[in-house]
A and B are shown apart, each in its own frame.
Chain A
C-alpha cells in the first residue's frame, strides 16, 4: 500500500473571525505548491459568533499522478490525526484540545488573546476563565506549541488576524512550502495586501523565533507588587500623611494604604486622608494583636475596601473624572483616533432624583425623597437620560461645575449614610477579628458587592444588606469565613438574586439543623 498521506490542517475560530479567509488561503497555497486541496466547514449559525472549525487536507499531486488515482479525502478531522491546528483565539485552542485534535503529531499555533464568551462576560464579578489549564494542556498534548498574541500583532500591522496566523503557519515550518508561496497567496487575494503582508511578516517572525515557547502574559499590576522607583516626590501637603502611615502601620501594609490615601485625597481633600487613616487605625489596633502572623491581612483588606468605600461613586466624582486631561488622552487612545484627529465625545448620563439628593443636606434630601409630588417634580426637572458633550464648552463647564460641588459632599445626605455604613462595617471587623480572623477579612471584602450608580447600586447594596443582616447567623457557622465568601459569590451569580436566595435559605436550614 502506498505511503502517501494527506497533510491535515484544522483551523478553529469564532464566527466572524475570518477562519474562512485563512482556510481559503491555505487551499490556494496548497494548490500553488503542488497539492490537491480540499476544505470543508460547517458555518451554519456558528457564523454568528459561535465556534467554528475549518478543515483542510492537502495531498501531494505528484503521488496521485504517479498512482493514477485520486485520493479519498475526508471531510472532518479524526482525533489524533491532525498535523496542524491553528487556533484564532486561546479558548478555541482549548476546544481543539478538548476535541482531541491536538496530539504529538500536531503543531499547535494559537493566538494567546482572549475573546471572552458571553458566559464569562455576564458575571457580576470576574467570570473570566483561567488560561493556565489550557496552556499546560497545550504544552502537554501538542508536538509543538507556538503561542503569541496574534490579535495584538494584527492590530499593530493593521491586518486581519488570519494574516498573522498565516505568517505563523509559514514561520513554524510545519508545511514544506516556502515563504514566497505564502506571500504570493496573500498578494493574489488582492485585498488589503500591504497590511496583510505586514501582519504575515510579524506572524512569521513570531513563529520562527519560537521553538516550544510559552510567553506568559504579563499580569496587570496589583497593589501587592513592589512599587516602582520613580522620579517625582510626594507634595509637601501629603508628606505628613505618609509619615503617619509609616509610624502607625507595619511596612507590609504600606503599598495598599498609600493607594488608599491617594484615592481619598484625590476624591475629597487631605483632611479626608487623615480620616481614612483614623478609621483604619481603629481596625489596625485589633489587627496588631491578631494579624502579625498573618502579614496583617485584615489591615490590608480593610485599607483597600475602606478606600473604595470612602470614595463612593457620585455625580461629583463622575464629573471630575470625565473632565480630566488624562481621560481626554485615554479616550483618544481607546477609540484609536489618528494623530491630531478631531474627536467629539459625549457622555450618556441619567441622573435620577436619588443621585441629586445624594448631594443635598440630609433634611432636604429626605424631604424630597419622601414626598411623592416633590419627587415627581424633581424627576421632571431632571428629565430623562441626556447626552453631555464633554469636548464642547457647554458640556465641559457643566461637568466642571458639578465637579466643583465637592465642597457640598461632607454635609450631604449620602455622605452621612456612607459614614454610618462604614462605621458599622468597621465595628464588625473589630468585633470578629479576635476570634474569627478570616471571617473578619471576608467581611472587609464584602464591600466588593457594592457597586456603581443608579439601579446597579440599589441592587448591589440590597444584596450587601441582605447578607450582612445575617452576620450573626453566619458567625456561628463551622467555617464562617468560607460561608460568607460563598454568600458573596452567590450574590454575584445572577442579577435576580436567585442564587443568593437559595444560599440564604440554605443558611437558615443549617441553623435549624444545628439547633
Chain B
C-alpha cells in the first residue's frame, strides 16, 4: 500500500460527459488516459508522477472494467519496453516516470521503439523534476525527444489543456507512427483544478485480441537493413506527417494580440507564469488578455518552421522563453530564421538566467528587460516591485533562517544504520561510502555526513566497483530495496560476484520503495492483491552467488555495529552483503496507529512505548542528536538556572522506535534517556502491581523528601 491512498479519488475516474472532474493534475492525466481508450499503462514511481502510479494501483477495479492492463514496472526500462505492444498492433499504451532520471534508464528501449515506429498511439508521460523541490540533476528531457525523434508535448498547465494534450498526443502518435512524450513540470503534476470530463472509452481492439492473433512485420525490427530504413522513414514520412497533424489541429496557439513590433514565443508549460508576469507589468489582465503577440508552443519538438517564420516575420524582436539549458529551442528558432533569411532579432537566454527555474520573479524581470530594449513604451509605466525590507534587515533574516535539508522521518529504520556506521567509523576510521538513490541518501546530510557519491538508482555498489583492489580498508556501499530490485541485483550484486569484489554492501530493506511514496516491491512483507510480494532479498542475493550474507534488524544498533565491523575486517574473501531490515516507519505507523487506537477504544490492553530525556541529567552536549537527527529529538530550554545550554528533549511526535536509547547505549553517551511504556486499559494484574509499587516507592520517596526538607533553602532569600 502506498503512502497516500487514492481509494476515494479513483471513484472520480468513473464520471462521464457533462460532469466536472476536480483534482490534481496527475489524476486528470489518469482520467484522460481512460477517456482516450488506452489498453495498457506502465511506469515507475518517482516525484512528481508517483501519484499517477498510486492512483492506477488503487484503480484496479475500474481498469479491469475498461479492460486496461496496469503494470507497476520493474524499472523505467521495463516500462518503455512495454510500449512494444503498440509497434505491431493498434493498441494505445502509456508509460510514465520521473525525468530526466527515468528517461535515462528507459532510453535504450525508447530508442528502439522510436526506430521501429508505432501503429497504436504510444505516450510517454514524463514528470519533469526540475527547479524548486527537485532531488535530481538538473537536465532537460528535450534532448531525448530530439535524439530519438519522438515528439514532445509541453501543454499549458491547466487541467483542460493537459487532458486535451493526452488525447491529441495519442492521435499525433498514430498519425505519424511515432511515440510521443508528454512533459509535465512538477507544479503542473500537483496543480489542483478542474475540467469538463468525457466518458471513458473501452478499447475496440484489446490486448487479448493481439495475443490471439499475432501479427508480425519484419520491417519493424531494429536490425539491418530495417534500422537504416527507419532512419529514412523518420525524415521522409513520420516527420512530415507530424508537422501536418500539428498544423492542421492547431496544437500550438497564437494568443494575445496580433500587432506590435515585439512578440513572445513561450513553452506551453510556462504560459501561466508568463501571463502572471505580464499582469504584474500591467500588460495583461487576469484572463490572459493582452495586446502582446504570443506564440505558445504546446509542442516543443518538432518546431513548425512555417508557424515560427510567420510569427516572426513582421516583428523586430521576439523573446524566446525556454526553461533549462542548453537552449535547444533558441538555437532551432535562430536556425529557422537564418535559413528563411528573416532578420528578426531573437532574444532568449540573453535576458534570462542561463540556468535554473523560471520563477515568477525571473519571468517578470526577463520580460521587462526584453521590452525595455525592444519596445520600451510598453513597460515605461510598469510598476517596479519595491523591496519589502531594507537590505540590512533582510540580511539579518537571511542569516537567521536555518536551512532545512530533507532528513529521515521520526522513527525511520534507516537512521540506526547510519548511527551505527558513524560509530563504527569512530572505531575503525573513516571508509569510502558509495551511496544510492532513496531515503538513505539523506545520510550525506547532517548530522550523519556519510557518503561520497551517488551514481543513480540501484547503482550504489557499482559506484564503488573501481575500488576492487588490495587495500588496508574496505569500501561500504548502500543500496535501498527499491534500487536493488530496479537493477542493483545485477548491476551491483552480480557485478561484485562476477568480478570477485571484496567489499561491503548494505541493503536497506524497509519493505517499500519508500522515498517515492511507499509503493510495494518484490520484497514487501504486506499482502498485495494484484502483485507478488514476500520475495526475500537474501534469497536473491544468495542466488547470485554471495556467501557472506548477514541479516540484521536495524534498530539493534549494537548488532548492526558488530556486523558492520565484522564485514569490514573479516579475513573471508569475496563480496559481503548486509541486509538491514525494518519496516518503513511512515508506512508502519499508518498501518498500526488506527489499529492501536481502535484496540484502545475497544478496551483492549495496549502498551505504547515512547522515549524521553531527563533534563536534570542531560548535559546539553547534544551528542545524542548528532548520531540520530530524529525530528522528534529536539531541544528545549535548560530548566537548571545554573546551566546555559539547551537540553535535549523528545517531543510528542515520538513513535517509540528506541533508536535514541540504543544509541545512548552503544555510543556510551549519558544516562538521560528513558523509555516510558504507557499502558492503556490495564489488566487487574497491572493495576495490582502498579499499586504495590507506587505504595512502596512512594513511601521511600516521601522519606527522601523529608530528609531533603531538612536542608531546604525555602523559596525566600
Is the CB of A237 closer than 8 A to any CB of chain B?
yes
Q: State in angstroms the CA–CA spacing of A14 and B653 once bound together.
A: 14
Inter-chain contact A342/B690, CB cutoff 8 Å: yes
Q: State in angstroms the CA–CA spacing of A261 and B642 once bound together.
A: 11
Question: Which chain A residues numbered 10 to 51 have a C-beta less than 8 Å away from chain B?
Answer: 14-16, 27, 37-51
Q: In the complex, which of the residues A6, A69, A259 contacts B641, with contact meaning CB atoms closer than 8 Å?
A: A259
Contacting residues, chain B, for A95 (C-beta < 8 A): 401
Q: Chain A 122-159 against B: per-residue CB contact (8 Å), 1 yes, 0 no?
A: 11111011110110110011000000000000010000
Q: State in angstroms the CA–CA spacing of A325 and B671 once bound together.
A: 18
State the Cβ distance, A238 to closest chain B Cβ, in Å: 5
Is the CB of B146 closer than 8 A to any CB of chain A?
no
Q: If the complex has contacts A80-B388, A323-B701, A335-B612, are A456 and B670 also in contact, measured as CB distance less than 8 A?
A: yes
Inter-chain contact A232/B678, CB cutoff 8 Å: no
Question: Which chain B residues numbered 657 to 713 have a C-beta less than 8 Å away from chain A?
Answer: 661-662, 664-671, 673-680, 682, 686-687, 690, 692-693, 696-698, 700-702, 704-705, 708-713
Question: Which chain B residues numbered 383 to 405 have a C-beta less than 8 Å away from chain A?
Answer: 385-390, 393-394, 396-405
- Closest A-chain residue to B412, C-beta based? A48
Is the CB of A242 closer than 8 A to any CB of chain B?
yes
State the Cβ distance, B303 to closest chain A Cβ, in Å: 24
Is the CB of A341 closer than 8 A to any CB of chain B?
yes
Q: In the complex, which of the residues A1, A98, A325 contacts B702, with contact meaning CB atoms closer than 8 Å?
A: A325
Inter-chain contact A385/B716, CB cutoff 8 Å: no
Contacting residues, chain B, for A372 (C-beta < 8 A): none
- Closest A-chain residue to B270, C-beta based? A75
Inter-chain contact B397/A137, CB cutoff 8 Å: yes
Contacting residues, chain B, for A72 (C-beta < 8 A): 158, 271-272, 275-276, 286-288
- Closest A-chain residue to B364, C-beta based? A78
State the Cβ distance, A142 to closest chain B Cβ, in Å: 8
Inter-chain contact B404/A341, CB cutoff 8 Å: no
Q: State in angstroms the CA–CA spacing of A330 and B644 once bound together.
A: 21
Q: If the complex has contacts A137-B396, A391-B697, are A16 and B134 also in contact, measured as CB distance less than 8 A?
A: no
Q: State in angstroms the CA–CA spacing of A79 and B670 once bound together.
A: 48
Inter-chain contact B273/A254, CB cutoff 8 Å: no
Q: State in angstroms the CA–CA spacing of A6 and B279 once bound together.
A: 11
Q: If the complex has contacts A124-B622, A396-B697, are A230 and B715 also in contact, measured as CB distance less than 8 A?
A: yes
- Closest B-chain residue to A51, C-beta based? B404
Contacting residues, chain B, for A79 (C-beta < 8 A): 360-361, 385, 388
Is the CB of B280 closer than 8 A to any CB of chain A?
yes
Inter-chain contact A348/B664, CB cutoff 8 Å: yes
- Closest A-chain residue to B25, C-beta based? A40
Contacting residues, chain B, for A15 (C-beta < 8 A): 406
State the Cβ distance, B472 to closest chain A Cβ, in Å: 21
Question: Which chain B residues numbered 471 to 496 have a C-beta less than 8 Å away from chain A?
Answer: none
Is the CB of B304 closer than 8 A to any CB of chain A?
no
Question: Which chain B residues numbered 405 to 463 have a C-beta less than 8 Å away from chain A?
Answer: 405-410, 439, 442, 445-447
Q: If the complex has contacts A2-B287, A74-B272, A121-B634, are A331 and B190 also in contact, measured as CB distance less than 8 A?
A: no
Which stretch in B221-229, B321-329, B522-530, B625-633 binds the other chain?
B625-633
Question: Which chain A residues numbered 204 to 224 have a C-beta less than 8 Å away from chain B?
Answer: 220-223
Inter-chain contact A335/B157, CB cutoff 8 Å: no
Inter-chain contact B617/A322, CB cutoff 8 Å: yes
Q: State in angstroms the CA–CA spacing of A174 and B646 once bound together.
A: 37
Inter-chain contact B634/A76, CB cutoff 8 Å: no
Is the CB of A410 closer than 8 A to any CB of chain B?
no
Inter-chain contact A71/B132, CB cutoff 8 Å: no
Q: State in angstroms the CA–CA spacing of A98 and B364 once bound together.
A: 18
Q: In the complex, which of the residues B396, B445, B633, B669 contacts A454, with contact meaning CB atoms closer than 8 Å?
A: B669
Inter-chain contact B47/A44, CB cutoff 8 Å: yes
Is the CB of B133 closer than 8 A to any CB of chain A?
yes
Inter-chain contact B192/A348, CB cutoff 8 Å: no
Contacting residues, chain B, for A40 (C-beta < 8 A): 187, 190-192
- Closest A-chain residue to B667, C-beta based? A455
Q: For this complex, into which size category does the number of interface residues on chain A fall?
A: 35 or more
Give the residue among B277, B364, B614, B667 with the most A Cβ atoms within 10 A.
B614
Q: State in angstroms the CA–CA spacing of A454 and B669 once bound together.
A: 6
Q: In the complex, which of the residues B186, B276, B675 contacts A346, with contact meaning CB atoms closer than 8 Å?
A: B675
Inter-chain contact B621/A451, CB cutoff 8 Å: yes
Q: In the complex, which of the residues B133, B667, B701 contacts A324, with contact meaning CB atoms closer than 8 Å?
A: B701
Is the CB of B48 closer than 8 A to any CB of chain A?
yes
Is the CB of A195 closer than 8 A to any CB of chain B?
no
Q: In the complex, which of the residues B271, B286, B671 contacts A4, with contact meaning CB atoms closer than 8 Å?
A: B286
Contacting residues, chain B, for A235 (C-beta < 8 A): 709-714
Q: In the complex, which of the residues A4, A75, A231, A390 contacts B187, with contact meaning CB atoms closer than 8 Å?
A: A75
Inter-chain contact A337/B678, CB cutoff 8 Å: yes
Which stretch in A112-120, A278-286, A413-421, A429-437 binds the other chain?
A112-120
Q: State in angstroms the CA–CA spacing of A134 and B187 once bound together.
A: 29
Is the CB of A439 closer than 8 A to any CB of chain B?
no
Inter-chain contact A318/B639, CB cutoff 8 Å: no
Q: In the complex, which of the residues A98, A270, A324 contacts B394, with contact meaning CB atoms closer than 8 Å?
A: A98
State the Cβ distance, B542 to closest chain A Cβ, in Å: 31
Is the CB of A294 closer than 8 A to any CB of chain B?
no
Contacting residues, chain B, for A477 (C-beta < 8 A): none
Q: In the complex, which of the residues A45, A133, A270, A317 contacts B47, with contact meaning CB atoms closer than 8 Å?
A: A45
Q: In the complex, which of the residues B397, B410, B646, B675 contacts A94, with contact meaning CB atoms closer than 8 Å?
A: B397
Inter-chain contact A122/B635, CB cutoff 8 Å: no
Is the CB of B610 closer than 8 A to any CB of chain A?
yes
Is the CB of B717 closer than 8 A to any CB of chain A?
yes
Contacting residues, chain B, for A223 (C-beta < 8 A): 641-642
Q: If the complex has contacts A67-B287, A266-B711, A385-B664, are A325 and B701 also in contact, measured as CB distance less than 8 A?
A: yes
Inter-chain contact B675/A125, CB cutoff 8 Å: no
Q: State in angstroms the CA–CA spacing of A220 and B285 once bound together.
A: 52
Inter-chain contact A313/B673, CB cutoff 8 Å: no
Q: Chain A 339-364 against B: per-residue CB contact (8 Å), 1 yes, 0 no?
A: 00111111111101000000000000
Inter-chain contact A345/B714, CB cutoff 8 Å: no
Inter-chain contact B280/A78, CB cutoff 8 Å: yes
State the Cβ distance, B267 to closest chain A Cβ, in Å: 13
Contacting residues, chain B, for A16 (C-beta < 8 A): 409-410, 631
Is the CB of A5 closer than 8 A to any CB of chain B?
yes
- Closest A-chain residue to B697, C-beta based? A396
Inter-chain contact B402/A352, CB cutoff 8 Å: no
State the Cβ distance, B177 to closest chain A Cβ, in Å: 34
Is the CB of A77 closer than 8 A to any CB of chain B?
yes
Contacting residues, chain A, for B704 (C-beta < 8 A): 323-325
State the Cβ distance, A337 to closest chain B Cβ, in Å: 6
Q: State in angstroms the CA–CA spacing of A128 and B648 once bound together.
A: 12
Q: State in angstroms the CA–CA spacing of A181 and B186 once bound together.
A: 31
Is the CB of B209 closer than 8 A to any CB of chain A?
no
Q: State in angstroms the CA–CA spacing of A120 and B558 once bound together.
A: 28
Is the CB of A374 closer than 8 A to any CB of chain B?
no
Is the CB of A460 closer than 8 A to any CB of chain B?
yes
Is the CB of A59 closer than 8 A to any CB of chain B?
yes
Q: If the complex has contacts A6-B286, A76-B187, A263-B642, are A50 and B676 also in contact, measured as CB distance less than 8 A?
A: no
Contacting residues, chain B, for A318 (C-beta < 8 A): 617, 671
Selected A-B contacts with CB under 8 Å, 6 pairs? A232-B712, A237-B711, A262-B713, A322-B617, A323-B701, A327-B616
8 nearest interchain CB pairs? A230-B715, A42-B133, A385-B665, A452-B619, A78-B360, A117-B402, A133-B396, A72-B288
Q: Which of B's residues lie within 8 Å of A, judged by CB?
A: 47-48, 129, 131-135, 157-158, 186-188, 190-193, 271-273, 275-277, 280, 285-289, 359-361, 364, 385-390, 393-394, 396-410, 439, 442, 445-447, 515, 558, 610, 612, 614-617, 619-623, 625-626, 629, 631, 633-635, 637-639, 641-646, 650, 652, 661-662, 664-671, 673-680, 682, 686-687, 690, 692-693, 696-698, 700-702, 704-705, 708-717
Q: Which of A's residues lie within 8 Å of B, judged by CB?
A: 1-2, 4-6, 14-16, 27, 37-52, 59, 64, 67, 69-81, 91, 94-95, 97-98, 100, 102-104, 115-126, 128-131, 133-134, 136-137, 140-141, 155, 220-223, 227-235, 237-238, 242, 254-256, 258-263, 265-266, 269-270, 304, 307-308, 313, 317-318, 321-325, 327-328, 330-331, 334-337, 341-350, 352, 384-385, 387, 390-393, 396, 400, 448, 451-456, 460, 495
